[in-house]
Amino acid sequence: MSDSNELRIVEAVRQALHEEMVRDSEVLVYGEDVGIDGGVFRATQGLIEDHPGRVHDSPLGEAGIIGLGIGLAATGLKPVPEIQFQSFLYQGFHQLQQHASRLRSRSRGTLSCPMTIRTPYGGGIRALEHHSDSYEAGFAHVPGLKVVIPSTPSDTKGLLTAAIRDPDPVVFMEPTRLYRAFREPVPEGEHVVSLGEAAIRRTGDELTVVAWGSMVREATDAVDKTGVSADVIDLRTISPMDTDAIVESVKKTGRCVVVHEAPRTAGMAAEIVARITDEAFLYLEAPVERVTGYDVPVPMFAREEAYLPNSDRIATAIERTVGF
């Protein structure tokens, strides 16, 4: 058997779920259409045959899906529900914010909520309204919730495995536009990527670029276009955030551009700028730039490309920051 296999992100999700279900009989999967149909993006295809009695189709009701998970987790199981699109997780936000995130503190450590909510998110697939939102900042604002966003197949498997094994609730957001965008070698068998640790995708000394999810590829392309020597930091975990990786890089480069596809106001870029100001202000050679979505609902597909940050917009911000 080889020590790696070439997978897409959607296949890495499936492999992580399968291997964790083999390893731990307490792990179970449920959600709308995840069983017989294999999920809206086919991420759970085949699991119902491989793990009879542990993969269940649920009624269409996101609040109920999350609420059921809290109850299952409180009894010692490890539920991995799927919400078909992140926009519909708002229906379960009350359950997440009022109950799942507080179970440990409310019970003074007696109970925890080892639940991983998988949800595709983001634009770029020409979907209908309510299918392209990027709300990581809202979930990151809830104490007690971890928020994870992979950008590669290998990280998808490793981070999802870590999330399932985490004793507390995790919102695992999967970038829809990357599900089948590319393949890469993914370790077979045990592969865990620690939550809360960023990855450095490129190294350089003129600029720091911070991104996550589908924006990592756009940011890397932008760096290539400009020829600027840059650190490209893939945050991977939005909460808890690897602040040290950002600060150490900015202390080295003196310049930073933060990229995300969510709306600009009160987005995670604003939090990152605040942390850089707190811990590396005297090292800055230029204002920190933000390249983000706009403060409007994600438009229908005819205008979607104009909304999403792309490598050209990022490259312009990089050149402006380096030339300041």
pLDDT at 127: 87
Q: Is the pTM of this model over 0.75?
A: yes
**Average pLDDT of the residues in 80-105:** 95
- The structure tokens 């490309």 sit at 305
Compute the distance between CA of residue 154 and CA of residue 172 in angstroms, rounded to an integer.
15
The tokens describing 194, both together, are: 């620690």
Compute the distance between CA of residue 66 and CA of residue 192 in angstroms, rounded to an integer.
25
Q: What is the mean pLDDT of the chain?
A: 96
pLDDT at 128: 85
pLDDT at 75: 93
- What is the residue-wise DSSP string for 61-107? -HHHHHHHHHHHHHTT-EEEEE-SSGGGGGGGHHHHHHTGGGHHHHT
51 as an active site residue: the answer is no
Query: Strands across the sheet with 230-234, in order?
Result: 199-202, 230-234, 207-211, 256-263, 289-293
pLDDT at 288: 98
**Average pLDDT of the residues in 291-314:** 94
* Banded model confidence at residue 4, pLDDT cuts 50, 70, 90: low
Kindly tell me if the per-residue pLDDT of 157 is higher than 50. Answer: yes
Of the residues 18, 56, 94, 131, only one is catalytic, namely 131
**Average pLDDT of the residues in 231-238:** 98
* Banded model confidence at residue 295, pLDDT cuts 50, 70, 90: very high
**Average pLDDT of the residues in 276-299:** 97
